[in-house]
Amino acid sequence: MWTKENLQEMLKQKLEGYQFMVVSNREPYSHEYEGRKIKCFKAIGGLVTALDSVLQSTGGTWIAYGSGDADKDVVDKNDIVRMPVNNPRYNLKRIWLTKEEENDFYYGYSNQALWPLCHIVYRQPLFNVSHYNTYLNVNKKFAAAVLDIAGKEKSFVWTQDYQMCLVAKFIKEANPGIITALFWHIPWPNPEVFRICPQKIEIMEGLLSNDLLGFHIHYHCHRFLEACEQEIEAKVQWEEMSVTYKGHTTLVRPFPISIDTQNVASQANLHFVKNEIDNLPDEIDPPYEILAVGVDRIDYTKGIVEKLYAIDRFLEKYPQYQGRFVFFQQGALSRLHIKYYKEYIDRIQALTEEINWKYRCGKWYPIVLNNRRTEYYRQLALYRAADICIVSSLHDGMNLVSKEFVASNTDFKGMLILSKFTGASRELKEAILINPYDIENFADSIKEAIELSQDEKTSRVKKMQETIEENNVYKWAGKFIENLAKL
């Protein structure tokens, strides 16, 4: 079993004498003004959830964009702040982006070109040359920060995700001795989809500057290797899963990302989390007997609209649950400057009103939306109070909400309904698996989850807990670094 301690031990042996750096766009913690006070917030999303646990155990430097309005007021002269605030374990080095850079790099190329390209959920990617040029320059800026910290010391740099495709190329050009690796947190598209990207060669060259490239699952590794064969003059060694391009070899491997399972379970058992469960009915206004929850970043890939259609159909088809069933959707607002996201939140709100109006009876109505930022312990209370958690992504690299829900379900009360199109569904096989586009079957699955016997639930949840206890985030990071050390 991988633990924080044996990951630390392994790193000591394998990376002895190396500086350890993580590079991502999203910073793990941001500082924000609330009135005159500065508050520190942990970011949402799988990347931060996983890597914060890792960096707390390994130490090192995390380089990321400083997006909080108070971020500049808390860093030292090198733009570094120690994190987390209450138990400092690593350096957070903040990179500053101009409004134009944020617009073209983050809202533009990253989230209007690469994001829809990789998720394939019927939103057309926008390839804008000026967005791409800014993307390239911002990647250069991150590489410069790495080179500055590395100096002449031996360093290992672990970049994260689709916002950072070109960072390793700029690092290697300046200092080929630095070991570079990248983990891709989202799906990798099939070759027919990838080939439409006008910057596909540059993207591949950037990724192949890494010594190791990780995806969540084998399927994405294979799609990437196919793209290498079809798009560039590269030698693909299928057996050892590696690609040699312009004399440099990149290993390609699957590493299913995870959570600090034991820590989530023990936090879910803390007394103030339990107390919070009693306060939930204040927030969830309509009376209920059966509570279903959804916890997502509001994103069109998460299938929230499909979830609402399925709830509508469920209440229509099984009227015995009207007046008894409530669905609470916790949805963190995100990327709102992008048209598709703005339209998506409007669609969710309109649909919720429509469904609530259709079924409302006395004090009861079926759907509650909450877009306010929530403290982590409240999220855990929500998981613990829920009879069902619904994860209905149309396409998702992994989905760590599903794993957190299972880990915090210490009394085996809740059942997970999980989309087949998440990486997590390959591990959490005992969940009720759905195709979120198949609304009829999705509605039936809600009924099935409610009517499952407690014995059946206990046995299925226990099996899922065993799986994620074994495959925790320390194993994810440990295996990644072990593979790198073999080089």
Residues lying near ligand F6P in the complex (CB under 6 A) are found at: 26, 45-48, 161, 185-186, 297, 334-335, 397
Minimum CB separation of residue 56 from ligand F6P in Å reads: 17
Dist. CA 233–CA 355, nearest whole Å:
54
Minimum CB separation from ligand F6P for residue 445, in Å?
A: 25
Name the minimum Å distance from CB 330 to ligand F6P. Answer: 15
Residue closer to ligand F6P by CB (options 48, 221) is 48
C-alpha distances (whole Å) from 253 to each of 55, 217, 222, 480 are: 21, 8, 9, 8
Select 48 or 394, whichever has its Cβ closest to ligand F6P. 48
- For the chain, how big is the Rg over CA atoms in Å? 22
| List of residues 6+ apart from 278 with CB closer than 8 A | none
**Nearest distance from C-beta of residue 220 to ligand F6P, angstroms:** 13
For residue 67, the minimal CB distance to ligand F6P (Å) is: 9
CB of 297 to ligand F6P, least distance (A): 6
Helix, strand or coil, per DSSP, at residue 154: coil
Closer of 15 and 398 to ligand F6P (Cβ):
398
How far apart CA 70 and CA 31 sit, in angstroms, is: 5
Q: Measured from the CB atom, is 186 or 484 closer to ligand F6P?
A: 186
Which DSSP state fits 113? I
- CA dihedral defined by 42, 45, 51, 55, rounded to 10 degrees? -10
Closest to ligand F6P by CB, 26 or 378: 26
Cβ 243 to ligand F6P, closest distance in Å?
Answer: 23
Residue nearest to ligand F6P (CB): 45
Q: Which CB atom, from 8 or from 334, has the smaller least distance to ligand F6P?
A: 334
Buried b (16+ CB within 10 A) or exposed e, 309-333: bbbbbbbeebeebebebbbbbbbbe
Decide: 424 and 434 in contact? Cβ < 8 Å.
no
Q: Which is nearer to ligand F6P, 206 or 397 (CB)?
A: 397
Q: Which is nearer to ligand F6P, 47 or 477 (CB)?
A: 47
Give the pair of three-digit tokens for residue 134. Answer: 């800014």
**Exposed, middle or buried, 282 (CB in 10 Å: 0-12/13-18/19+)?**
exposed
Please report how close the Cβ of residue 23 comes to ligand F6P at its closest, in angstroms: 12
Q: Which is nearer to ligand F6P, 323 or 397 (CB)?
A: 397
Closest of 196, 151, 201, 202 to residue 178, by C-alpha: 151
CB of 112 to ligand F6P, least distance (A): 12
Q: Read off φ and ψ for residue 324, nearest 5 degrees.
A: -120, -25
How would you label 240-268 residue by residue, b for 16+ Cβ within 10 Å and e otherwise? ebbbebeeeebbbbbbbbbbbbeebbebb
**Helical axes 454-470 vs 261-268, angle rounded to 10°:** 130
Query: 123: how many CB neighbours lie within 10 A of its CB?
Result: 17
Q: Phi then psi for 480, rounded to 5 degrees?
A: -60, -50
| Cβ closest to ligand F6P, residue 48 vs residue 207 | 48
Nearest approach, Cβ of residue 106 and ligand F6P (Å): 7
Whole-angstrom CA distances from 428 to 117, 289, 400, 406, 467 are 26, 26, 11, 9, 8
- Compare residues 427 and 444 and give the one whose CB is closer to ligand F6P: 427
CB of 436 to ligand F6P, least distance (A): 18
User: Which tokens belong to 486?
Assistant: 């073999």
